[in-house]
């Protein structure tokens, strides 16, 4: 009975994570009308670093004993996953719809699989089929028929695709470290390492912070995204991984773009198009097929 209760608790935690992440796109989108994406990112990631640091040290964390090569590895993948990804993500979100952002980001396992293949990981035939289907879906969403190539929305979609590539690459390259370093600790160190770069590129965009003129609703978005979206949700996700395993937990991530589409429609009035539905179905179906192939291998 206790084991069953723990599983239910873990699944509830994962549902909360999906809800937090699904709402996060629209919440951030509303703030970008009043604050530059780089400034928003810098402030929220600073909050995230403080929160993750508190989790790390509050849980008895201490300085990591890693080789110089491992520290360089961590710094390199941090630049990809916590700097490059964030820059592409925020600049893309400022230009395209929150629903498109969530759908395109759900294609990141494509790039994880491709990087893994280049590093020598074997892909089964079923995985290649899923890969092709997911790529087709991503293309449908990124280059919709009603968008002109070079337009603001299409540029935003392409930037989000670059973000998806960066996060997928980070996921593939971080595996060795993730086996030796606790997830929250790894997130804290990679965030802290790359935070100075965010401050550098946003320094001349932080006028509203220094003048105290950031609107209250923007602060709400920053706190939500920084503490919940990239802080508390990460802790809950790790609970799911520990109690349910990676394969079971990974299935929940497919709920995020569905929630994001619904929230974007309800809160921002973003239309849900046939291209989004068709492309999203292809992406999620392809990613699910790739996941099944990995589970069976």
What digits encode the pLDDT tens for the residues 182-241? 777 888 899 999 999 999 999 999 999 999 999 999 999 999 998 888 778 877 876 776
Of the candidates 92, 126, 142, the one whose C-alpha atom is nearest the C-alpha of residue 280 is: 142
Residue identified by tokens 């990809």 is 80
pLDDT at 4 over 80: no
Share the mean pLDDT of the chain: 85
Which ranges in the chain belong to alpha helices (H)? 2-31, 37-58, 68-78, 85-93, 98-105, 108-118, 125-142, 152-173, 175-178, 183-202, 207-211, 216-223, 233-244, 246-250, 255-268, 274-296
Across 140-156, average pLDDT: 68
Exposure on the CB side of residue 25, measured as CA atoms within 13 A: 33
CA distance 193 to 62: 16
The whole-number pLDDT of residue 133 equals 87
Backbone angles phi and psi of 269, in degrees to 5: 70, 20
Q: How many CB atoms lie within 10 A of CB 34?
A: 14
Q: Which of 16-20, 38-42, 106-110, 262-266 has the lowest mean pLDDT?
A: 106-110
Specify the pTM: 0.85
Of the candidates 93, 88, 114, 117, the one whose C-alpha atom is nearest the C-alpha of residue 103 is: 93
Widest CA span in the chain: 57
Contact in structure between 18 and 255 (CB atoms under 8 Å): yes
Across 269-290, average pLDDT: 85
The whole-number pLDDT of residue 175 equals 77
Of residues 261 and 3, which shows the higher confidence score?
261
Residue identified by tokens 């723990």 is 6
pLDDT at 151 over 60: yes
| SS3 label, residue 297 | coil
Across 17-23, average pLDDT: 91
Which DSSP category does 145 fall into? T
């Amino acid at each position: 009975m206790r084991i069953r209760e723990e599983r239910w608790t873990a699944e509830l935690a994962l549902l909360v994570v999906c809800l937090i992440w699904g709402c996060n796109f629209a919440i951030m989108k509303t703030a970008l009308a009043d604050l530059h994406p780089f400034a928003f990112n810098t402030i929220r990631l600073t909050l995230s670093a403080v929160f993750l640091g508190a989790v790390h040290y509050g849980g008895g964390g201490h300085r990591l004993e890693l080789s110089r090569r491992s520290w360089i590895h961590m710094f390199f993948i941090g630049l990809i996953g916590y700097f490059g990804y964030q820059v592409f993500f925020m600049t893309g979100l400022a230009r395209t719809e929150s629903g498109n952002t969530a759908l395109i980001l759900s294609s990141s396992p494509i790039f994880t699989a491709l990087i893994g293949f280049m590093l020598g990981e074997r892909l089964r035939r079923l995985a290649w089929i899923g890969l092709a289907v997911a790529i087709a879906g991503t293309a449908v969403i990124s280059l919709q028929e009603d968008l002109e190539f070079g337009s603001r929305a299409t540029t935003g979609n392409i930037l989000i695709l670059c973000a998806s590539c960066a996060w997928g690459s980070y996921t593939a390259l971080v595996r060795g470290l993730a086996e030796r370093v606790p997830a929250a600790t790894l997130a804290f160190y990679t965030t802290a390492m790359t935070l100075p770069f965010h401050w550098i590129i946003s320094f001349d965009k932080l006028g509203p912070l220094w003048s105290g003129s950031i609107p209250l609703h923007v602060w709400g978005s920053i706190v939500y995204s920084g503490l919940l979206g990239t802080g508390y949700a990460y802790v809950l996700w790790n609970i799911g991984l520990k109690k349910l395993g990676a394969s079971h937990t990974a299935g929940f991530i497919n709920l995020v773009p569905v929630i994001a589409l619904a929230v974007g429609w309800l809160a921002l009035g973003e239309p849900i198009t046939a291209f989004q539905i068709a492309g999203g179905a292809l992406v999620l179906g392809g990613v699910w097929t790739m996941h099944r192939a990995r589970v069976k291998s």
